């Protein structure tokens, strides 16, 4: 459950977003100038706010913050428009548009950002407009204000590149709401009649629509508006986007290293590159911004080696599991205090197609455990040693290596909700538990689902035979560009081995 502050929640995209959020179980503080327009729904707190008034902005946000305690998300959605030829715009009108669409929203951003930076995490979504890049005639002040906000957002994104506070700019096109009917119409000039003739001559058969401006001999031509929930879907996609990963690498890899005590399994060469480099490249390409590495065996050496291969721009944290000789559930529990939202989970000794990561992130249900499942049973290298899964449609029923009835194999790739940590704690026996124990616990409460990877390829590397098989498959797939190393992947591998 997230605590969300959203402006412009009484109509249009803001109303649709707020309704969807409370339906999903989030706590929403939604604003409007007129509180009577805010629906009365559970978990929806009405807040009076006027973006034209800086005092109102600060008072409204602070009052809501006092009630909420903190906000996970700020959605800057409210806005206003003005139709009028640019040559007739008064400075008062331009200032009003900039106050509502730029200065007021920046003020909210600064108020939220201060608290989010203190907490160490947060998400700010600014709903600007496609008009920031493709200006609309007769809306010069609106276009310019939206462009200014988009540019400001981009600037702060660059400044916060290494922060866990994320800033997103959503730029919808024309959405079918009451916005076009509520914009202020200015007084047009005689030149509008010439534009009216051009609009009339091109509009009838091109699928566009025209909006008449009151007291003006012109029809304002725009493309057909999309459904209101299109803008909602865009915003909610960022709300639920997975940007953090946990990589388990605490074990000693005894089956692969043999008697070599200096061997670090994640750095075994695979076609000349460290195994872990393939995993990191896949995470970066999938949009992961932060990776938590859980280390244990020879942790200092492991950390030093990992630091050499981390791609630029990827935020990394190292978490030591002093009980690394226990099962992998204990390694994941070591990350509990570092992860506060849904995250991607993988192992440091698995290779996989990029498409599996993308599929998992795209189809994950945020409040459930999502497991990438391989139903190609005949293609599994060592099925006897594999983690088997029994499902009913996409629901996980059972998981374990000893299952006799199963229809899929665990690939070692998950999207996990924070609830996984509670389930692992409950699953502990004598201070130990496996990841499968946590999955089993969530499946018992119908909170675990499988996502079929289809024809995609993956390989666990536990033995020299598995490594040889992986290299054969990888060589073939690299030739077909199914797996692509990021720039400088080869160089990173050489530095590691040297």
- CA separation for the pair 451, 359 (Å, rounded): 8
Dihedral angle of Cα 284, 124, 42, 7, to the nearest 10 degrees: -150
- CA separation for the pair 215, 277 (Å, rounded): 65
Domain boundaries along the sequence of the chain:
3-186+230-239, 244-497
pLDDT score at 443 = 97
Handedness of CA 366, 370, 372, 376 (dihedral sign): negative
CATH class for the domain made up of 3-186+230-239: alpha beta
What does the pLDDT profile of the chain (498 residues) look like in tens digits? 789 999 999 888 889 889 988 888 889 999 999 988 888 888 899 999 999 999 999 999 999 999 999 999 999 998 787 888 889 999 999 999 999 999 999 999 999 999 999 988 899 999 988 888 888 888 899 999 999 999 999 999 889 877 888 898 888 765 555 545 555 555 554 444 444 444 444 333 434 344 444 444 334 444 444 444 445 555 665 566 788 999 999 998 877 776 566 789 999 999 999 999 999 999 998 889 899 999 999 999 999 999 999 998 888 999 999 999 999 999 999 999 998 789 999 999 999 999 999 999 988 987 899 999 999 999 998 899 999 999 999 999 999 999 999 999 999 999 999 999 999 999 999 999 999 999 999 999 999 999 999 999 999 998 889 999 889 888 887 766 554 443 334 344 433 333
- CA separation for the pair 292, 246 (Å, rounded): 5
* Residue carrying structure tokens 């616990």: 441
Instruction: Of 288, 379, 294, give the one whose Cα is nearest residue 338.
Output: 294
The architecture in CATH of the region 244-497 reads Alpha-Beta Complex (3.90)
pLDDT score at 200 = 42
Dihedral angle of Cα 22, 26, 31, 34, to the nearest 10 degrees: 30
- CA separation for the pair 456, 235 (Å, rounded): 30
- End-to-end Cα spacing for the chain: 47
């Amino acid at each position: 459950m997230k605590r969300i502050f959203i402006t412009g929640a009484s109509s249009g995209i803001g109303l649709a977003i707020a309704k969807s959020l409370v339906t999903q179980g989030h706590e929403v503080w939604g604003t409007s100038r007129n509180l009577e327009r805010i629906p009365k729904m559970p978990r929806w707190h009405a807040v009076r706010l006027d973006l034209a008034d800086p005092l109102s902005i600060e008072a409204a946000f602070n009052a809501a913050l006092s009630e909420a305690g903190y906000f996970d998300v700020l959605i800057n959605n409210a806005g206003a428009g003005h139709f009028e030829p640019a040559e007739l715009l008064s400075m008062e009108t331009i200032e009003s548009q900039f106050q509502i669409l730029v200065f007021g929203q920046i003020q909210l951003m600064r108020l939220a950002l201060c608290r989010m930076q203190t907490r160490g995490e947060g998400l700010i979504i600014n709903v600007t407009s496609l008009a920031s890049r493709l200006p609309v005639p007769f809306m010069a002040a609106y276009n310019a204000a939206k462009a200014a906000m988009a540019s400001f957002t981009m600037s702060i994104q660059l400044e916060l590149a290494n922060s866990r506070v994320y800033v997103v700019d959503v730029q919808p096109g024309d959405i079918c709401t009451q916005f076009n009917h509520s914009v202020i119409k200015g007084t047009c000039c005689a030149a509008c009649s010439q534009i009216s003739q051009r609009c009339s001559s091109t509009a009838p058969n091109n699928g566009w629509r025209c909006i008449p401006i009151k007291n003006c001999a012109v029809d304002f031509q725009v493309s057909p508006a999309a459904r209101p929930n299109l803008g909602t879907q865009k915003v909610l996609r960022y709300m639920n986007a997975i940007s953090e990963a946990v990589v388990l690498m605490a074990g000693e890899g005894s089956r692969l290293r043999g008697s070599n005590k200096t061997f670090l399994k994640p750095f075994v060469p695979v076609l000349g590159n460290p195994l872990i480099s393939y995993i990191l490249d896949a995470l970066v390409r999938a949009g992961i911004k932060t990776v938590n590495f859980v280390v244990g065996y020879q942790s200092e050496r492991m950390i030093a080696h990992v630091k050499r291969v981390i791609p630029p721009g990827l935020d990394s944290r190292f978490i030591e599991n002093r009980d690394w000789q226990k099962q992998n559930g204990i390694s994941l529990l070591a990350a509990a205090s570092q992860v506060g939202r849904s995250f991607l989970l993988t192992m440091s000794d698995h290779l996989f197609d990029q498409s599996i990561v993308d599929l998992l992130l795209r189809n994950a249900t945020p409040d459930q455990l999502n497991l990438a499942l391989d139903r190609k049973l005949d293609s599994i290298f060592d099925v006897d040693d594999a983690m088997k899964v029994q499902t009913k449609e996409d629901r996980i029923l059972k998981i374990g290596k000893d299952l006799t009835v199963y229809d899929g194999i665990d690939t070692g790739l998950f999207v996990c909700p924070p609830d996984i940590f509670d389930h692992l704690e409950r699953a502990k026996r004598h201070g130990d538990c496996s990841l499968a124990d946590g999955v089993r616990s969530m499946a018992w409460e119908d909170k675990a689902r499988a996502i079929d990877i289809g024809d995609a390829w993956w390989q666990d590397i536990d033995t020299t035979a598995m490594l040889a098989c992986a290299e054969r498959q990888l060589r073939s797939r690299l030739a077909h560009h199914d797996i692509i190393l990021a720039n400088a992947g080869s160089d990173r591998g050489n530095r590691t081995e040297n």
